[in-house]
Protein backbone atom coordinates (compact mmCIF):
# COMPACT_ATOMS: atom_id res chain seq x y z
CA UNK A 1 0.00 0.00 0.00
CA UNK A 2 1.41 3.36 -0.97
CA UNK A 3 0.59 5.78 1.82
CA UNK A 4 -0.07 9.34 0.79
CA UNK A 5 1.74 12.38 2.20
CA UNK A 6 -1.16 13.52 4.36
CA UNK A 7 0.26 17.01 4.64
CA UNK A 8 -0.91 17.61 1.08
CA UNK A 9 -4.45 17.01 2.31
CA UNK A 10 -4.20 19.98 4.67
CA UNK A 11 -3.40 22.37 1.84
CA UNK A 12 -6.07 24.81 0.92
CA UNK A 13 -6.90 24.64 -2.73
CA UNK A 14 -5.59 27.85 -4.14
CA UNK A 15 -8.87 29.01 -5.55
CA UNK A 16 -7.95 32.67 -5.88
CA UNK A 17 -7.30 32.85 -9.62
CA UNK A 18 -9.85 30.12 -10.40
CA UNK A 19 -12.49 32.03 -8.42
CA UNK A 20 -11.63 35.23 -10.25
CA UNK A 21 -11.94 33.45 -13.62
CA UNK A 22 -15.29 31.96 -12.58
CA UNK A 23 -16.71 35.33 -11.58
CA UNK A 24 -15.39 37.00 -14.73
CA UNK A 25 -16.95 34.24 -16.87
CA UNK A 26 -20.30 34.59 -15.12
CA UNK A 27 -20.17 38.31 -15.86
CA UNK A 28 -19.32 37.68 -19.52
CA UNK A 29 -22.22 35.28 -19.93
CA UNK A 30 -24.60 37.97 -18.70
CA UNK A 31 -22.87 40.76 -20.63
CA UNK A 32 -21.61 39.11 -23.82
CA UNK A 33 -20.78 42.44 -25.47
CA UNK A 34 -18.77 43.88 -22.59
CA UNK A 35 -15.02 43.99 -23.11
CA UNK A 36 -13.38 43.20 -19.79
CA UNK A 37 -9.90 44.57 -19.04
CA UNK A 38 -7.73 42.82 -16.49
CA UNK A 39 -5.58 44.75 -14.05
CA UNK A 40 -5.24 41.46 -12.21
CA UNK A 41 -2.66 39.65 -14.29
CA UNK A 42 0.56 38.61 -12.58
CA UNK A 43 2.26 37.87 -15.88
CA UNK A 44 4.23 40.16 -18.14
CA UNK A 45 2.78 41.07 -21.54
CA UNK A 46 5.61 42.69 -23.52
CA UNK A 47 7.80 40.51 -25.79
CA UNK A 48 11.39 39.45 -25.17
CA UNK A 49 13.90 42.09 -26.18
CA UNK A 50 15.89 41.77 -29.46
CA UNK A 51 19.20 41.01 -27.69
CA UNK A 52 17.60 38.00 -25.99
CA UNK A 53 15.93 36.80 -29.18
CA UNK A 54 19.16 36.88 -31.17
CA UNK A 55 21.09 35.11 -28.36
CA UNK A 56 18.45 32.39 -28.34
CA UNK A 57 18.51 32.05 -32.13
CA UNK A 58 22.28 31.69 -32.02
CA UNK A 59 22.04 29.09 -29.25
CA UNK A 60 19.44 27.10 -31.19
CA UNK A 61 21.70 27.12 -34.24
CA UNK A 62 24.56 25.77 -32.10
CA UNK A 63 22.27 22.93 -31.05
CA UNK A 64 21.80 21.96 -34.71
CA UNK A 65 25.42 20.96 -35.23
CA UNK A 66 27.22 18.11 -33.43
CA UNK A 67 30.36 20.21 -33.00
CA UNK A 68 28.54 22.99 -31.10
CA UNK A 69 25.69 20.95 -29.59
CA UNK A 70 25.15 21.16 -25.81
CA UNK A 71 23.78 18.21 -23.84
CA UNK A 72 23.56 18.11 -20.05
CA UNK A 73 25.13 21.22 -18.62
CA UNK A 74 26.48 21.73 -15.09
CA UNK A 75 23.69 21.30 -12.49
CA UNK A 76 24.75 24.65 -10.98
CA UNK A 77 24.53 26.44 -14.33
CA UNK A 78 27.07 27.51 -16.94
CA UNK A 79 29.99 29.62 -15.83
CA UNK A 80 29.33 32.23 -18.51
CA UNK A 81 26.04 33.11 -16.82
CA UNK A 82 27.17 32.77 -13.21
CA UNK A 83 30.10 35.01 -14.00
CA UNK A 84 27.89 37.62 -15.67
CA UNK A 85 25.63 37.61 -12.59
CA UNK A 86 28.50 38.29 -10.20
CA UNK A 87 29.99 41.03 -12.38
CA UNK A 88 26.70 42.80 -13.11
CA UNK A 89 24.29 42.19 -10.24
CA UNK A 90 26.67 42.13 -7.27
CA UNK A 91 30.14 43.63 -7.79
CA UNK A 92 28.72 47.09 -8.68
CA UNK A 93 26.95 47.04 -5.28
CA UNK A 94 30.13 46.13 -3.45
CA UNK A 95 29.09 42.51 -2.94
CA UNK A 96 31.76 39.90 -3.62
CA UNK A 97 30.50 36.36 -3.95
CA UNK A 98 32.21 33.20 -5.19
CA UNK A 99 31.01 31.64 -8.39
CA UNK A 100 30.06 28.46 -6.52
CA UNK A 101 27.68 30.47 -4.35
CA UNK A 102 25.53 31.05 -7.47
CA UNK A 103 23.05 28.36 -8.59
CA UNK A 104 21.14 28.90 -11.83
CA UNK A 105 17.50 27.84 -11.54
CA UNK A 106 14.60 27.32 -13.92
CA UNK A 107 12.73 30.21 -12.34
CA UNK A 108 12.70 31.29 -8.72
CA UNK A 109 9.51 29.51 -7.77
CA UNK A 110 11.08 26.04 -7.94
CA UNK A 111 14.00 26.96 -5.70
CA UNK A 112 11.85 28.95 -3.27
CA UNK A 113 9.59 25.92 -2.95
CA UNK A 114 12.43 23.39 -2.77
CA UNK A 115 14.91 25.09 -0.47
CA UNK A 116 12.89 24.29 2.64
CA UNK A 117 13.66 20.59 2.21
CA UNK A 118 17.20 21.18 3.53
CA UNK A 119 15.71 22.11 6.89
CA UNK A 120 14.32 19.97 9.72
CA UNK A 121 10.54 19.72 9.70
CA UNK A 122 9.99 21.31 13.09
CA UNK A 123 11.48 24.72 12.41
CA UNK A 124 9.10 27.62 12.91
CA UNK A 125 8.52 29.80 9.89
CA UNK A 126 7.65 33.48 9.83
CA UNK A 127 6.08 35.30 6.88
CA UNK A 128 5.00 38.84 6.19
CA UNK A 129 1.27 39.06 5.61
CA UNK A 130 -0.11 39.41 2.88
CA UNK A 131 2.30 37.21 0.92
CA UNK A 132 3.10 35.16 -2.18
CA UNK A 133 1.47 31.81 -1.32
CA UNK A 134 4.45 29.61 -2.31
CA UNK A 135 6.35 30.27 0.94
CA UNK A 136 3.68 28.84 3.22
CA UNK A 137 2.33 26.12 0.95
CA UNK A 138 5.75 24.59 0.25
CA UNK A 139 6.34 24.31 4.01
CA UNK A 140 2.83 22.99 4.65
CA UNK A 141 3.58 20.16 2.22
CA UNK A 142 5.98 18.60 4.72
CA UNK A 143 3.88 19.41 7.77
CA UNK A 144 5.86 22.41 9.01
CA UNK A 145 2.86 24.73 9.27
CA UNK A 146 0.58 22.83 11.64
CA UNK A 147 -3.18 22.96 11.10
CA UNK A 148 -5.13 25.43 8.98
CA UNK A 149 -7.95 27.17 10.84
CA UNK A 150 -9.80 30.44 10.19
CA UNK A 151 -7.47 31.48 7.41
CA UNK A 152 -4.25 30.83 9.36
CA UNK A 153 -1.75 28.04 9.90
CA UNK A 154 -1.23 27.28 13.57
CA UNK A 155 2.60 27.09 13.53
CA UNK A 156 3.20 30.04 11.19
CA UNK A 157 4.05 33.50 12.52
CA UNK A 158 2.32 36.14 10.41
CA UNK A 159 3.73 39.67 10.60
CA UNK A 160 1.04 42.04 9.31
CA UNK A 161 1.91 44.66 6.72
CA UNK A 162 -0.90 47.17 6.43
CA UNK A 163 -1.38 50.88 5.85
CA UNK A 164 -1.61 51.30 9.65
CA UNK A 165 1.99 50.20 10.19
CA UNK A 166 3.27 51.70 6.94
CA UNK A 167 3.76 48.17 5.54
CA UNK A 168 6.76 47.72 7.82
CA UNK A 169 6.77 44.19 9.23
CA UNK A 170 7.46 43.97 12.94
CA UNK A 171 10.19 41.63 14.20
CA UNK A 172 8.71 38.80 16.32
CA UNK A 173 9.09 39.92 19.93
CA UNK A 174 7.73 37.29 22.23
CA UNK A 175 8.75 34.07 20.57
CA UNK A 176 11.49 32.62 18.44
CA UNK A 177 11.23 31.93 14.71
CA UNK A 178 13.77 29.89 12.73
CA UNK A 179 13.05 30.62 9.08
CA UNK A 180 11.94 34.02 7.82
CA UNK A 181 10.55 34.71 4.34
CA UNK A 182 10.92 38.25 3.05
CA UNK A 183 9.94 39.46 -0.43
CA UNK A 184 11.06 42.96 -1.50
CA UNK A 185 9.88 44.73 -3.55
CA UNK A 186 6.77 42.98 -2.34
CA UNK A 187 4.21 40.99 -4.23
CA UNK A 188 1.31 41.75 -3.66
CA UNK A 189 1.67 45.15 -1.94
CA UNK A 190 4.31 46.71 -4.21
CA UNK A 191 6.00 48.19 -1.14
CA UNK A 192 9.75 48.13 -0.43
CA UNK A 193 12.02 47.79 2.58
CA UNK A 194 14.65 50.35 3.57
CA UNK A 195 18.18 49.34 4.53
CA UNK A 196 17.44 50.34 8.12
CA UNK A 197 14.44 48.03 8.34
CA UNK A 198 16.17 45.19 6.52
CA UNK A 199 19.15 45.53 8.86
CA UNK A 200 16.80 44.85 11.80
CA UNK A 201 15.83 41.51 10.27
CA UNK A 202 19.43 40.56 9.51
CA UNK A 203 20.43 41.46 13.07
CA UNK A 204 17.51 39.41 14.44
CA UNK A 205 18.61 36.44 12.33
CA UNK A 206 22.25 36.73 13.45
CA UNK A 207 21.34 37.14 17.10
CA UNK A 208 18.69 34.43 17.20
CA UNK A 209 20.31 31.97 14.81
CA UNK A 210 17.52 32.22 12.25
CA UNK A 211 17.66 31.87 8.46
CA UNK A 212 16.27 34.49 6.04
CA UNK A 213 14.97 33.40 2.64
CA UNK A 214 14.95 36.61 0.61
CA UNK A 215 12.89 36.81 -2.59
CA UNK A 216 14.16 39.67 -4.77
CA UNK A 217 12.20 38.79 -7.92
CA UNK A 218 11.22 42.45 -8.45
CA UNK A 219 14.53 44.16 -7.63
CA UNK A 220 14.87 45.45 -11.22
CA UNK A 221 11.83 47.69 -10.64
CA UNK A 222 13.45 49.67 -7.81
CA UNK A 223 13.73 53.35 -8.75
CA UNK A 224 14.81 54.86 -5.44
CA UNK A 225 18.64 54.66 -5.17
CA UNK A 226 18.49 54.18 -1.38
CA UNK A 227 16.41 50.99 -1.50
CA UNK A 228 18.51 47.79 -1.35
CA UNK A 229 18.42 45.46 -4.37
CA UNK A 230 20.09 42.61 -2.52
CA UNK A 231 19.99 41.50 1.10
CA UNK A 232 23.79 41.20 0.92
CA UNK A 233 23.97 44.99 0.92
CA UNK A 234 23.41 44.52 4.65
CA UNK A 235 26.48 43.58 6.66
CA UNK A 236 26.29 40.08 8.09
CA UNK A 237 23.60 38.87 5.66
CA UNK A 238 25.97 36.41 4.02
CA UNK A 239 25.99 34.48 7.29
CA UNK A 240 22.21 34.15 7.53
CA UNK A 241 20.47 34.76 4.19
CA UNK A 242 19.69 32.97 0.94
CA UNK A 243 18.61 35.18 -2.00
CA UNK A 244 16.32 34.18 -4.86
CA UNK A 245 16.28 36.09 -8.13
CA UNK A 246 14.40 35.58 -11.35
CA UNK A 247 14.52 36.89 -14.92
CA UNK A 248 10.75 36.46 -15.18
CA UNK A 249 9.82 40.02 -14.28
CA UNK A 250 13.27 41.52 -14.98
CA UNK A 251 13.33 40.50 -18.64
CA UNK A 252 9.98 38.89 -19.47
CA UNK A 253 11.25 35.33 -18.95
CA UNK A 254 8.01 33.90 -17.50
CA UNK A 255 7.82 31.56 -20.49
CA UNK A 256 11.60 31.01 -20.87
CA UNK A 257 12.29 29.90 -17.27
CA UNK A 258 15.56 31.10 -15.77
CA UNK A 259 16.72 32.75 -12.57
CA UNK A 260 19.25 32.08 -9.84
CA UNK A 261 19.71 31.43 -6.15
CA UNK A 262 22.58 32.70 -4.01
CA UNK A 263 23.64 30.32 -1.23
CA UNK A 264 26.66 31.85 0.55
CA UNK A 265 29.15 29.37 1.99
CA UNK A 266 28.92 31.03 5.40
CA UNK A 267 25.23 30.18 5.84
CA UNK A 268 24.80 27.16 8.07
CA UNK A 269 22.09 25.25 9.89
CA UNK A 270 22.56 23.25 13.07
CA UNK A 271 22.24 19.57 13.99
CA UNK A 272 20.74 18.67 17.39
CA UNK A 273 24.31 18.06 18.56
CA UNK A 274 25.16 21.64 17.63
CA UNK A 275 27.32 20.88 14.62
CA UNK A 276 27.04 23.56 11.91
CA UNK A 277 26.29 22.33 8.41
CA UNK A 278 26.95 24.41 5.30
CA UNK A 279 23.75 24.92 3.34
CA UNK A 280 25.77 25.64 0.21
CA UNK A 281 27.10 22.06 0.29
CA UNK A 282 23.68 20.59 1.01
CA UNK A 283 22.00 22.62 -1.71
CA UNK A 284 24.67 21.56 -4.18
CA UNK A 285 24.10 17.93 -3.18
CA UNK A 286 20.35 18.36 -3.56
CA UNK A 287 20.62 20.01 -6.95
CA UNK A 288 23.04 17.40 -8.31
CA UNK A 289 20.59 14.69 -7.26
CA UNK A 290 17.29 16.21 -8.29
CA UNK A 291 18.01 18.83 -10.94
CA UNK A 292 19.74 18.53 -14.29
CA UNK A 293 20.18 22.19 -15.01
CA UNK A 294 18.37 24.97 -16.84
CA UNK A 295 18.41 24.68 -20.63
CA UNK A 296 21.45 25.99 -22.48
CA UNK A 297 19.23 28.18 -24.67
CA UNK A 298 17.59 29.80 -21.61
CA UNK A 299 20.97 30.48 -20.01
CA UNK A 300 22.30 32.11 -23.20
CA UNK A 301 19.10 34.18 -23.26
CA UNK A 302 19.75 35.30 -19.68
CA UNK A 303 23.39 36.10 -20.42
CA UNK A 304 22.23 38.44 -23.21
CA UNK A 305 20.44 40.76 -20.81
CA UNK A 306 23.85 41.71 -19.36
CA UNK A 307 25.17 42.96 -22.72
CA UNK A 308 25.06 46.75 -23.20
CA UNK A 309 22.15 46.43 -25.69
CA UNK A 310 20.38 43.88 -23.49
CA UNK A 311 20.60 46.14 -20.44
CA UNK A 312 19.19 49.07 -22.34
CA UNK A 313 16.40 47.03 -23.91
CA UNK A 314 15.15 45.38 -20.71
CA UNK A 315 15.26 48.75 -18.97
CA UNK A 316 12.92 50.11 -21.65
CA UNK A 317 10.35 47.43 -20.91
CA UNK A 318 10.64 48.01 -17.15
CA UNK A 319 10.16 51.75 -17.79
CA UNK A 320 7.12 50.89 -19.90
CA UNK A 321 5.47 49.04 -17.02
CA UNK A 322 6.51 51.66 -14.49
CA UNK A 323 4.92 54.36 -16.67
CA UNK A 324 1.67 52.41 -16.32
CA UNK A 325 2.14 52.25 -12.56
CA UNK A 326 2.75 56.02 -12.35
CA UNK A 327 -0.35 56.73 -14.39
CA UNK A 328 -2.43 54.37 -12.28
CA UNK A 329 -1.27 56.01 -9.04
CA UNK A 330 -1.93 59.44 -10.45
CA UNK A 331 -5.46 58.75 -11.72
CA UNK A 332 -6.58 56.55 -8.82
CA UNK A 333 -5.34 59.02 -6.20
CA UNK A 334 -7.04 61.89 -8.00
CA UNK A 335 -10.25 59.88 -7.76
CA UNK A 336 -9.74 59.61 -4.02
CA UNK A 337 -8.54 56.02 -3.77
CA UNK A 338 -5.93 55.19 -1.14
CA UNK A 339 -3.04 53.55 -3.01
CA UNK A 340 0.30 52.07 -1.94
CA UNK A 341 3.26 50.59 -3.81
CA UNK A 342 3.66 51.27 -7.53
CA UNK A 343 6.79 53.41 -7.11
CA UNK A 344 9.44 50.69 -6.95
CA UNK A 345 7.33 47.73 -8.09
CA UNK A 346 4.79 46.94 -10.81
CA UNK A 347 2.00 46.46 -8.26
CA UNK A 348 -0.45 48.86 -6.71
CA UNK A 349 -2.14 47.91 -3.48
CA UNK A 350 -5.38 49.82 -3.14
CA UNK A 351 -7.60 50.06 -0.09
CA UNK A 352 -11.20 49.29 -0.90
CA UNK A 353 -13.37 52.37 -0.37
CA UNK A 354 -15.92 52.50 2.44
CA UNK A 355 -14.55 49.47 4.28
CA UNK A 356 -15.81 47.05 1.66
CA UNK A 357 -14.44 43.52 1.62
CA UNK A 358 -11.91 42.68 -1.10
CA UNK A 359 -14.38 40.43 -2.91
CA UNK A 360 -17.24 42.90 -2.69
CA UNK A 361 -15.14 45.63 -4.28
CA UNK A 362 -13.86 43.15 -6.88
CA UNK A 363 -17.46 42.48 -7.98
CA UNK A 364 -18.45 46.13 -7.99
CA UNK A 365 -15.43 47.07 -10.11
CA UNK A 366 -16.14 44.22 -12.52
CA UNK A 367 -19.83 45.03 -12.94
CA UNK A 368 -19.44 48.80 -12.76
CA UNK A 369 -16.26 49.40 -14.79
CA UNK A 370 -15.66 46.03 -16.48
CA UNK A 371 -12.21 45.96 -14.89
CA UNK A 372 -10.69 42.98 -13.08
CA UNK A 373 -8.52 43.33 -9.98
CA UNK A 374 -7.15 40.73 -7.54
CA UNK A 375 -8.82 40.59 -4.12
CA UNK A 376 -6.19 41.20 -1.44
CA UNK A 377 -7.72 38.68 0.94
CA UNK A 378 -6.43 35.96 -1.40
CA UNK A 379 -2.87 36.76 -0.21
CA UNK A 380 -3.44 36.35 3.51
CA UNK A 381 -5.51 37.66 6.43
CA UNK A 382 -4.00 41.16 6.35
CA UNK A 383 -4.91 41.49 2.66
CA UNK A 384 -8.60 41.86 3.50
CA UNK A 385 -9.91 45.30 2.58
CA UNK A 386 -7.40 45.74 -0.26
CA UNK A 387 -7.10 44.79 -3.92
CA UNK A 388 -3.98 44.37 -6.04
CA UNK A 389 -3.69 46.09 -9.43
CA UNK A 390 -0.85 45.27 -11.78
CA UNK A 391 1.03 47.50 -14.21
CA UNK A 392 1.84 44.63 -16.59
CA UNK A 393 -0.79 45.59 -19.19
CA UNK A 394 -0.26 47.58 -22.37
CA UNK A 395 -0.40 51.39 -22.19
CA UNK A 396 -3.64 51.28 -24.17
CA UNK A 397 -5.50 48.79 -22.00
CA UNK A 398 -4.23 50.41 -18.79
CA UNK A 399 -5.38 53.85 -19.97
CA UNK A 400 -8.75 52.43 -21.01
CA UNK A 401 -9.20 50.69 -17.63
CA UNK A 402 -8.43 53.94 -15.81
CA UNK A 403 -10.86 55.87 -18.01
CA UNK A 404 -13.60 53.38 -17.17
CA UNK A 405 -12.89 53.63 -13.46
CA UNK A 406 -13.18 57.42 -13.81
CA UNK A 407 -16.50 57.17 -15.67
CA UNK A 408 -17.78 54.61 -13.17
CA UNK A 409 -17.03 57.04 -10.33
CA UNK A 410 -19.13 59.68 -12.08
CA UNK A 411 -22.03 57.34 -12.79
C1 LIG B 1 6.85 36.08 -10.24
C2 LIG B 1 7.46 35.85 -8.91
C3 LIG B 1 8.58 35.03 -8.76
C4 LIG B 1 9.30 34.43 -9.95
O5 LIG B 1 8.81 33.23 -10.32
P6 LIG B 1 9.52 32.45 -11.52
O7 LIG B 1 9.38 31.02 -11.12
O8 LIG B 1 10.94 32.88 -11.56
O9 LIG B 1 8.77 32.79 -12.77
C10 LIG B 1 9.13 34.86 -7.50
N11 LIG B 1 8.58 35.45 -6.43
C12 LIG B 1 7.51 36.25 -6.53
C13 LIG B 1 6.98 36.89 -5.31
C14 LIG B 1 6.90 36.45 -7.77
O15 LIG B 1 5.82 37.24 -7.85
| Confidence grade of residue 42 (pLDDT, cut at 50, 70, 90) | confident
Probe ligand 1: pick from 220, 248, 253, 294, max atoms within 8 Å of CB? 248
Q: Given this model, what pLDDT does residue 55 score?
A: 98
% of the chain with per-residue pLDDT over 90: 95
Position 189 pLDDT exceeds 90: yes
What is the average pLDDT across 190-195? 98
* 143 confidence band (pLDDT: 50, 70, 90): very high
362 alpha-carbon distance from chain centroid:
23
Residue bearing the bigger pLDDT, 218 or 16: 218
CB-CB contact of 236 with 203 (8 Å): yes
Q: Ligand 1: does its nearest atom lie under 6 Å from the Cβ of 108?
A: yes
Across 238-252, average pLDDT: 98
Residue 184 CA to ligand 1 centre (angstroms) = 12
The confidence band for 343, taking pLDDT boundaries of 50, 70 and 90, is very high
User: Does position 13 have pLDDT exceeding 80, yes or no?
Assistant: no
Average pLDDT value over all residues in the chain: 96
Q: Tell me what pLDDT residue 15 has.
A: 74
Among 106, 136, 246, the mutation site with the greatest number of ligand 1 atoms within 8 A of its Cβ is 246
* Residue 233: predicted pLDDT: 98
Residue 259 Cβ < 6 Å to ligand 1:
yes
Inform me whether the pLDDT recorded for 56 exceeds 90.
Answer: yes
Question: What whole-number distance in Å separates Cα of residue 233 and Cα of residue 308?
Answer: 24
- Confidence check: pLDDT of 320 > 90: yes
- Given a cut of 80, whether residue 14 has pLDDT beyond it is no
Asked if pLDDT for residue 153 goes beyond 90, the answer is yes
pLDDT the model gives residue 293: 97
Cα angle value 27/32/33 (rounded, 5°) = 120
Range in 9-23, 307-321, 393-407 the model is least confident about: 9-23
User: What spacing in Å lies between the alpha carbon of 368 and ligand 1's midpoint?
Assistant: 31
Instruction: Collect all residues with Cβ–Cβ distance below 8 Å to 124 and sequence separation of at least 6.
Output: 155, 156, 157, 175, 176, 177, 178, 179
Neighbours of 197 (CB within 10 A): 16
Q: State yes or no: pLDDT of 209 exceeds 80.
A: yes
Q: In 3D, which of 94, 98, 333 has the Cα closest to residue 195?
A: 94
Question: Which pLDDT belongs to residue 410?
Answer: 78
Distance (Å, whole) CA 38 – CA 366: 9
Ligand 1 pocket member 39 (CB < 6 A): no
**From the CB of 54, is ligand 1 less than 6 Å away?**
no
Is 188's C-beta closer than 6 angstroms to any atom of ligand 1?
Answer: no
Centre of ligand 1 to C-alpha 258, Å, is 10
Taking residues 141-150, what's their average pLDDT?
Answer: 94
Mean pLDDT of 63-83: 98
Instruction: Please say if the pLDDT value at position 253 is more than 90.
Output: yes
| 3-class DSSP assignment, residue 409 | helix
* The pLDDT of residue 16 is above 90: no
Residues 6+ apart with CB under 8 A from 297: 56, 59, 60, 63
pLDDT of residue 186: 98
Q: Both ends of the chain: CA-CA distance in Å? A: 63
* 229 C-alpha to ligand 1 centroid (Å): 15
Q: Is the pLDDT at 193 greater than 80, yes or no?
A: yes
DSSP string, 187-249: TTT-----HHHHHHHHHHHHHHT-EEEEE-TTGGG---TTS-SSGGGSTTGGGTEEEEEEHHH
Res 270: pLDDT = 97
Amino acid sequence: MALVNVHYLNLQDNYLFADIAKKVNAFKVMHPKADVISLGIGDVTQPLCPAVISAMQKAVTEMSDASTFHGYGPEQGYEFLRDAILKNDYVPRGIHLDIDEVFINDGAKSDIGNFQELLHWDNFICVTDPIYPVYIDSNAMIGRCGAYKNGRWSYVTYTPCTAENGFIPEIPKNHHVDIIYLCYPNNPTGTVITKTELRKWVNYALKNDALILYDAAYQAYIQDPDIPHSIYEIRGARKCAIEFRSYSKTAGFTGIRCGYTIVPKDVTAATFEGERISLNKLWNRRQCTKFNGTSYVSQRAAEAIYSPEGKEQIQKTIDYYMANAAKMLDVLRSLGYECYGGENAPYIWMRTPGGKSSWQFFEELLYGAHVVCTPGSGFGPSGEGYVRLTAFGSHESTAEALERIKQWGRG
